[in-house]
Structures are given as C-alpha cells and as structure tokens.
A and B are shown apart, each in its own frame.
Chain A
C-alpha cells in the first residue's frame, strides 16, 4: 500500500492551528497520543474532495477550502449572546445542555435535580481524568480524524439500566463567535439495558456568528431492549459549515427512532453509521432537508445489518429551492449472517426551481439470502395538476405550494413520536415555508 506522507495544503494550514490549539485541548498522555495520531491521519488526507467516492457530491476543498482556527473559549459577552439565542430555540419541557463555541456552558444548562439513573459529565472532565475511550476514532474518515484531534468538549450522558427518562434531553450547540472560527465537540449517549430516553440536538447561532465551522461527533450505544428517540435540528447560520458524524450501536431488541431536519448552514454533511449488534433491533430514520439559496446539505448514512432479525427504515425528503443542492447517500449492508433482515429506504426530492439539484445514491449490498430489502428514489417538481386544483379553490401560488410541500415532508415528520417535539418541528418547517412566501 502506498502511504502518502506529503502534507496537503489544507493539512499544513491546519497543523499550525493544531499546534496553537494543543494546550487548550483536554487530556494528556494516551489521550494526547490519540489526538496526535488522528491529527496526522487528517494531515495526510487533507480535506476530502470529489475524487474520493464517498465525497463525490460534497467536495470540501471546493465548498469549504480551509479549516478555520479553533474558536476562543466563550467570554461573558459570548455567553450572554448565547443566552439570547437559546430563548429563540428553547423547547419547553426539556433538560437543556448547552455547548457554546464548543465549550460546555454550565451556567446555561439545566444541571439541577437530575432524574434518577441519569448521569451527565463533560467530555473535558472525562478526558482530563485520562479516559480516552471516547477518542477512539475511525481515522480513515479525515473529518472524523479531525474531530478526534480537536474535540474540545461535549456531553457524556449515561442512563442506567432500566431507567425510563421522562424529560427529553436537549443538547444545544450555540455558535457565538464573532470571528470566523471552528468548534469541535464530541458527545456520548449510553443507554443501559431496558432504558429509554429522548435526545434532541440543535445547532444554532447567535446573531453575530456568521462564517463559523462546527464539527461534531456523537456516539450512541443502546443496550438490549433500550429505546432512543432522537431529533437532530441543523439551524445554523446560513454562512456556517456543519460537519458531523454519529456512530450508533444497537443491542438486541433495541429501538432507535431518529429524525433529522436541515434548514440551516451553508454547507452541511452528516454521516451517521448505525450498527446492529444484537438481534431483533429496529431503526427508523427519517430526514427532511429544507434548503434554499446556495445551501448544500449532505446526509451520508451507513446502515450495517451485522446480525439477523433486524429491521431498518429510511424515509428521506428533500425540498430544494433556488440553487441549493441536496445529497443523500444511503448505504445498507446486510452481512452474510444477517438473515431475516428487513431493510427499506425511500428517498424523494422536490425541486422548487430549475437550478435546484438533488443527488440520491442508494446502495444495497446484500450478502444474506433470506432478507426483504428495497429502496426507491424519486426526484421531481410539484405536481402542476395538484397546484392548479388548490389555486382554483382560492389558494394563492405560494400558499398552494406551501400546502403541498408540507404534505411532502409530512410523512417524515409524522415519525416523531413525542407530540410537542413533532409540533416544534412542524412549526419550524412552517416558518421556513412562510419565509419563502
């Protein structure tokens, strides 16, 4: 194998940034070594580009060009801007855990009176205590390697066996930096056996924060029979970059119901990897992109059916206006032992303008013979005959479109189990539609 040791340009630029940041990054000894290895892996590869198959539609060398320097730890002013932004994005009834510019903000978080069986620590604490497990990293993906090298903070949430968490957890990533900068977070959610919880993740910006970059990585582990409802809302500023990954492992009979909506960020890429490690588990993943202008939103999902008797469903809907570009790559692997796998993926893209672009790349790799697998993909404009029917009944053009777009994304949104969270998402989609009109 040919290992390219030469540093790329982006690699070089960022190495200065890594050297400068190093003393602010928590953890020493083994943890620091893990960072160093990950950093070298990133440096060798540089930002991924279109000649790498997985990044064909999302060429970060073109879209992003450079990795910005690490954001400063938020000062009092940054925190108070964040507090104002939180008011706009708060979800009633949730326990809020806030990261501002990549740093856990205890003052803005709800840490008081935890429910029994819930433990919340910061990544910083964990790494400073010398535990490097969370920095174990897939360095073959340069963006995960970069996150490993630079992860500053995050939340480490553990839910004990049998605990049914009543209150949804809301992890809010607030970008508050006034100068162009990058923030790196890594979080963990571990649900014990028979435990259940709801996790909401929001990515938002304060008014002044513009061309920032946010790099996140989430690690989820579901014990046998555990259930997680997961909501992920990318509402970053329209000049921001959001590059994130998730690694989810499900135990036997565990259930994951996950919904993601991207309406913010100039460029976003979300790479969830879902691994079935125990039989009888089920995953429902639903996603909606609502993008316009020159936004670019990429979801690249990998569903690994490694064991028998598991089911997965993907419903993905993209609404693309102006010159925006939506990418969905869904790879499902059914390994030789994974008999009785039931895996289905359906993606649909709605183009609201002639210059809107959608790329759909479903991949099914099936190595077992007794399985039910399928995928479908459609791309098209709003149906003219439906639009005319609505207009003939008195709806102005934009309102008629809005009603049909709502219906289009409705199927994915309906998958959200929690009523108030579903209402929250419906309202967010509604605001996006109203802003169009």
Chain B
C-alpha cells in the first residue's frame, strides 16, 4: 500500500484557490523531491498534509496508509508518523527545548499506546542525535528556537525528526539560509534516516540540496499543480533551463 496518496487535491486560502487538483503518490522507502518556483504552492501542500488550520480543502483527498488524513487532528497525524520540517520554524519563548522534545515524544507514544520513554533512555537518545547534528547541549536548554540562527533552527527540525522516527518526512526548504557546511550536516542527518520503511518528500527551490539528498523522483510544481515528474536527472535539467517554461505555460 502507498504510504501517502494525494489525489486531485484542491485547496483554497481566503477564497483564492492555491492548489488546483494536485496528485502525488509516495511509497515506503522512496525519496521524492518537489521543486518549483516561489509561490507555486509547495508550502501550502506541506501545511495541508500536516493539518495546519486556515486552509480549505475544496476537493480531492489525502490518504496515509489508506486512512483519510484530512479527518485527523494535526497531533493525530504526528502520532501516525507524519512529520513536517518547517520552512520557517517558530520561536517559542519560555518552553525549554528539552522539555518540549520530551513532552512531544511522550505525547506521540501515548497516542500510539506505547509506554513513555524513561528519562535516561530519552536523554541518551537526545545526546546521540544532537551530537551527530552538531547541536550543542546548551542549545537544548534554551526556549524552542529562541535566539537560534537560521541553520540552528533547521538542525533542530532534523533533530526532532530523528527523535520522533516518523514514517513520512516532509522537508520544506530545509536548505534555505544554510551555508554549504551546515547544509552537509543537515543532509547527513536526513540521509541517516533513510530506510526501506520511511519515505521523504524534499521540497526545494534549488537543485543544490539534491546533490546531498539524492531523490528517486523529482516533481516539478508550478501554479498549484504538478506539471512534470521524472527521475533525479530532471533536477539537473531544471538547473539549466529554469522554471520559466512551466510558469508561462
């Protein structure tokens, strides 16, 4: 069974249609890249999959392992294994990162009927993952994303992804604002999570990221729908020819 099936999805924001019948199928183990110019609706798609309020789905459906995702609250989706690494992670002053990570992880486990992590196991795991992502321990004591640089915020998203072990990872422009070293660290973190059970949807504006996270499929999105799908070589073609051909269409 497909992990994620988006079928003919139509989405409106404030009476304006942003997605016009978008379809996408993602199977376990696959890595899909979604590329497209700014404003083509990439973040909108990711938000609707994660369950962000403010979007009106006027047509189509989203199935996750055959279940209707649109019927579920955002936290239910998270517990089922949907994870979105945000393009713009928010800052949450007063909520210590470590406390947040533990609360979130245990909430997901509780929703799945699993036992809570013991404190030593949790700490060990956070320490391991944060070390591999080059995240200093004192960052975990600060408020969630408060005072983090752009790169630190992105690494914090990957850290959560590694901790929560979702089966569908959507990465929205995780390369934006990262220099080449930071990009490599983040990409290594993502690659370490690739597995036959887990699928990734990598949203990016630039081909550069796909040198590090090599996709199985590349979809080109323009004006609210997928206009072309191909293999990883499609990304290289786009790098040369640009998006203009799709935008004018």
Residue contact B73 to A397, C-beta cutoff 8 Å: yes
- Among candidates B84, B90, B111, residue contacting A385 with C-beta atoms closer than 8 Å: B90
Residue contact A386 to B104, C-beta cutoff 8 Å: no
Residue contact A394 to B73, C-beta cutoff 8 Å: no
B95 to chain A, nearest CB (A): 5
| Bound Cα distance A391, B160 (Å) | 13
| Total contacting residues, chain A, CB less than 8 A | 23
For B100, list chain A residues within 8 Å (CB).
390, 393, 403
Of residues 392 to 407 in A, which have CB atoms within 8 Å of B's CB atoms?
392-397, 399-400, 403-404, 406-407
Q: Does B79 contact A (CB under 8 A)?
A: yes
Residue contact B92 to A386, C-beta cutoff 8 Å: yes
Given contacts A394-B79, A394-B107, A403-B103, A411 and B74 within 8 Å (CB-CB): no
Q: Mark A398-437, 1 if CB is under 8 A from B, else 0.
A: 0110011011101100000000000000000000000000
Residue contact B84 to A392, C-beta cutoff 8 Å: yes
Residue contact A407 to B95, C-beta cutoff 8 Å: yes
Residue contact A388 to B74, C-beta cutoff 8 Å: yes
Q: Mark B66-107, 1 if CB is under 8 A from A, else 0.
A: 000000011101110000101001101111000010011101
Given contacts A389-B90, A403-B100, A411-B94, A395 and B75 within 8 Å (CB-CB): yes
For A354, list chain B residues within 8 Å (CB).
none
Given contacts A389-B90, A391-B73, A396 and B107 within 8 Å (CB-CB): yes
Q: Does B64 contact A (CB under 8 A)?
A: no
For B104, list chain A residues within 8 Å (CB).
390, 393-395
Residue contact A388 to B53, C-beta cutoff 8 Å: yes
| Total contacting residues, chain B, CB less than 8 A | 28
| Bound Cα distance A230, B204 (Å) | 55
Q: Does A53 contact B (CB under 8 A)?
A: no
| Bound Cα distance A390, B89 (Å) | 11
| Bound Cα distance A383, B95 (Å) | 14
Q: Does A23 contact B (CB under 8 A)?
A: no
Residue contact B103 to A391, C-beta cutoff 8 Å: no
Q: Does A384 contact B (CB under 8 A)?
A: yes
Q: Does B51 contact A (CB under 8 A)?
A: yes
- Among candidates B79, B86, B103, B111, residue contacting A389 with C-beta atoms closer than 8 Å: B86
- Among candidates B50, B93, B164, residue contacting A407 with C-beta atoms closer than 8 Å: B93
Residue contact A384 to B53, C-beta cutoff 8 Å: yes
| Bound Cα distance A391, B72 (Å) | 12
Q: Does B125 contact A (CB under 8 A)?
A: no
Q: Does B208 contact A (CB under 8 A)?
A: no
Residue contact A392 to B53, C-beta cutoff 8 Å: no
For B75, list chain A residues within 8 Å (CB).
391-397, 400
For A396, list chain B residues within 8 Å (CB).
73, 75, 107, 111
- Of all chain A residues, which has the CB nearest B89? A389
For B10, list chain A residues within 8 Å (CB).
none
Q: Does B65 contact A (CB under 8 A)?
A: no
Of residues 117 to 134 in B, which have CB atoms within 8 Å of A's CB atoms?
none
Residue contact B94 to A393, C-beta cutoff 8 Å: no
| Bound Cα distance A134, B73 (Å) | 60
Q: Does B52 contact A (CB under 8 A)?
A: yes
A348 to chain B, nearest CB (A): 12
For A394, list chain B residues within 8 Å (CB).
75, 78-79, 104-105, 107-108, 111, 164
| Bound Cα distance A397, B93 (Å) | 18
| Bound Cα distance A384, B74 (Å) | 13
For A389, list chain B residues within 8 Å (CB).
86, 89-90, 92
| Bound Cα distance A392, B74 (Å) | 5
- Of all chain B residues, which has the CB nearest A383? B90
B144 to chain A, nearest CB (A): 8
For A390, list chain B residues within 8 Å (CB).
92, 100, 104
Residue contact A399 to B89, C-beta cutoff 8 Å: no
- Of all chain A residues, which has the CB nearest B80? A394
| Bound Cα distance A391, B107 (Å) | 10
For B53, list chain A residues within 8 Å (CB).
384, 388
Of residues 345 to 400 in A, which have CB atoms within 8 Å of B's CB atoms?
383-386, 388-397, 399-400
A429 to chain B, nearest CB (A): 13
Residue contact B78 to A391, C-beta cutoff 8 Å: yes
- Among candidates A393, A403, A408, A411, residue contacting B164 with C-beta atoms closer than 8 Å: A393
Q: Mark A322-356, 1 if CB is under 8 A from B, else 0.
A: 00000000000000000000000000000000000
| Bound Cα distance A389, B90 (Å) | 7
For B51, list chain A residues within 8 Å (CB).
391-392
For B143, list chain A residues within 8 Å (CB).
407
| Bound Cα distance A153, B75 (Å) | 54
| Bound Cα distance A400, B105 (Å) | 13
For A399, list chain B residues within 8 Å (CB).
103, 107
Of residues 179 to 223 in A, which have CB atoms within 8 Å of B's CB atoms?
none
| Bound Cα distance A408, B92 (Å) | 10
Given contacts A392-B78, A397-B75, A407 and B92 within 8 Å (CB-CB): yes
Residue contact B90 to A392, C-beta cutoff 8 Å: no
- Of all chain A residues, which has the CB nearest B52? A388
Residue contact B103 to A395, C-beta cutoff 8 Å: yes
- Of all chain A residues, which has the CB nearest B77? A392
Residue contact A407 to B90, C-beta cutoff 8 Å: no
- Of all chain A residues, which has the CB nearest B50? A392
For A384, list chain B residues within 8 Å (CB).
53
Interchain Cβ contacts under 8 Å between A and B, 19 examples: A384-B53, A386-B90, A388-B52, A389-B92, A390-B104, A392-B52, A392-B77, A393-B104, A393-B107, A393-B108, A394-B107, A394-B108, A394-B111, A404-B92, A406-B94, A407-B92, A407-B93, A407-B143, A408-B94
Other A-B pairs, 16, CB within 8 Å; known A384-B53, A392-B75, A406-B94: A383-B90, A385-B90, A389-B90, A390-B100, A391-B73, A391-B75, A392-B50, A392-B86, A393-B108, A393-B160, A394-B107, A396-B73, A396-B75, A397-B73, A399-B103, A407-B143
**Shortest 10 CB-CB contacts between residues of A and residues of B:** A407-B94, A394-B108, A394-B78, A391-B74, A393-B104, A394-B107, A410-B94, A391-B75, A407-B95, A394-B104
B residues sitting closer than 8 Å to A (CB atoms) are: 50-53, 73-75, 77-79, 84, 86, 89-90, 92-95, 100, 103-105, 107-108, 111, 143, 160, 164
